[in-house]
Amino acid sequence: MSFAPPPPERVAALACGEKMYFTGKPCKRGHVAPRRVDSYSCSECLRERTEAWAKKNPNRAKEIDHAWKRKNAGRLAQRHAAYAEKNRDALRAYNKAWASRNSERVRNANRKRRARLNGGVLSANIEMVLRELQRGRCAVCCRRLGGNTHLDHIMPLALGGTNTDTNAQLLCRSCNQRKHAKHPVQFMQEQGYLL
C-alpha cells in the first residue's frame, strides 16, 4: 500500500489555520471544488450528500436548521440589521424597482391573499351575467361598456368584501381607476350620488 503525499495546497492551508484548500484538480466524481483540510473531502460532494440526506429526512433537517438558526439568531439578526443599515438606500431602490417590474405579480399576490382571507368564489360566467343585468353599461356612470370592462368588488376585498357574485359589478375603465379600493358609499358620494 502506498500513500500519496498530501498536496502542497493543503499543507499551506493547514499552516495558515484555514479550513479549506483548493488544488484545482477534480475529485473522484469530477467536481473541481475546494476540499476540507481535516478530512480531504470535496466540498461539493459533501454538499450533495447533505442535500440528499435532507431530502430523505426532511423533518430532522428542518429541526437541525431551526436549531442552528435559534442558536445563531442574535448573530444573524445583527448581521442582517448591519447589512440593511449599510445598504438602506440601495435596498429601498431595489425593492421599489422589483415591485414595479413585477406589479402584476404583486397585485395578483395581494388579490389571492385577500380572496383567501375573505373566502368566496365567483361564478365562471359572472362577467356575462353582469353585462346582461347592467344592460351593457357601467354600474357607476352608466356609459356603455365597450371591450374595456373591469370586474369590481362593490365592497373592496381590502375592506372585508367577499369574492362572491353578489359583491361584483362591472365598471368602465375610468370608473374602476377612480374607485380602486375605496369604500363604495364614499366613492358614490364623491361621484355626486346621495347615498
Instruction: Write 162-169 long-range contacts (CB < 8 A, 24+).
Output: 162/118, 162/119, 162/120, 163/114, 163/115, 163/118, 163/119, 163/120, 163/121, 163/122, 164/120, 164/121, 164/122, 165/122, 165/123, 165/126, 165/129, 167/120, 168/122, 168/126, 168/130, 169/130, 169/134, 169/139
The single residue among 31, 36, 131, 183 that binds Zn ion, judged by CB under 5 A, is 31
Query: Quick check: 115 binds Zn ion (CB under 5 A)?
Result: no
Smaller CB separation from Zn ion, 31 or 131: 31
Query: Quick check: 42 binds Zn ion (CB under 5 A)?
Result: yes
Smaller CB separation from Zn ion, 115 or 137: 137
Q: How many residues bind Zn ion (CB under 5 A)?
A: 11
Query: Quick check: 170 binds Zn ion (CB under 5 A)?
Result: no
**Helix (H), strand (E) at residue 35:** strand 35-36
Query: Quick check: 141 binds Zn ion (CB under 5 A)?
Result: yes
Smaller CB separation from Zn ion, 73 or 141: 141
Query: Quick check: 37 binds Zn ion (CB under 5 A)?
Result: no
Binding region for Zn ion (CB under 5 A): 27, 29, 31, 42, 44-45, 138, 140-141, 172, 175
